[in-house]
Amino acid sequence: MTTTNPPLNVLFLCTHNSARSILAEALLNAMGNGKFKAYSAGSSPRDNQQPNPLGLQVLQKAGISIEGLHSKSWDVFATPEAPQMDLIITVCDNAAGEVCPIWPGHPATAHWGYPDPSEGDASEEAKREAFGQTLRMMKRRLDLLINLPADKLRKTVLQGTARELAAS
């Protein structure tokens, strides 16, 4: 389905921008049918931070493009030259509790918490399964978002809509 309206810009935030936010960016861009343009960033990515290889493997296995995915600071999106966001979603508890930059355009915000699939001392196979589970949980919630009626995506109601989906 194509639309004459510009896509809604959605920024997914996490601390390091290596796992959950990268998954969400790739997934929404794959699912959004031109109605959404997803980005991701981290509040404090490590020096030379890269997307988690297991996350990239899970995306590829699901048939989702990993082209262009890279870790970056949220500062990239707080400049006047950056794309103006309509919705900013934190996907990890650490980033949700941090003081965010002042975002141009004052976008709607929501927190959709997911466990960190890369955390702990589990085997690589167990972590790969955790990434797959996280991807499936995100897909269910993003499926609800992309199928919302247009009136639920208007800027004046987007804040409440996105926060309601956190319970989904």
Task: Give the start-to-end residue ranges of the domains of the chain.
Answer: 8-157
Continuous H helices in 15-154: 20-31, 53-61, 93-96, 124-146
> Residue 95 — pLDDT band, cuts 50, 70, 90?
low
Lowest mean pLDDT among 24-33, 34-43, 99-108, 115-124: 99-108
pLDDT at residue 126, as a whole number: 95
> Residue 1 — pLDDT band, cuts 50, 70, 90?
very low
**Is the per-residue pLDDT at 57 higher than 50?**
yes
**Is the per-residue pLDDT at 52 higher than 90?**
yes
pLDDT at residue 152, as a whole number: 87
**Is the per-residue pLDDT at 127 higher than 90?**
yes
pLDDT at residue 96, as a whole number: 52
Lowest mean pLDDT among 22-31, 69-78, 91-100: 91-100
pLDDT at residue 165, as a whole number: 87
**Is the per-residue pLDDT at 125 higher than 70?**
yes
Percent over 90 (pLDDT), the chain: 60
The answer to whether residues 48 and 18 touch, using CB atoms and an 8 Å cutoff, is: no
**Is the per-residue pLDDT at 144 higher than 70?**
yes
pLDDT at residue 3, as a whole number: 46
pLDDT at residue 27, as a whole number: 98
State the sign of the Cα–Cα–Cα–Cα dihedral 107, 111, 117, 119.
Answer: positive
In the numeric block, the tokens 């997934």 are attached to 27
- With 0-12 / 13-18 / 19 or more C-beta atoms within 10 angstroms meaning exposed / middle / buried, residue 22 is buried
pTM: 0.89
- CATH for the 8-157 domain, from 3.40.50.2300, 3.30.70.1290, 3.40.50.1400, 3.40.50.1860: 3.40.50.2300
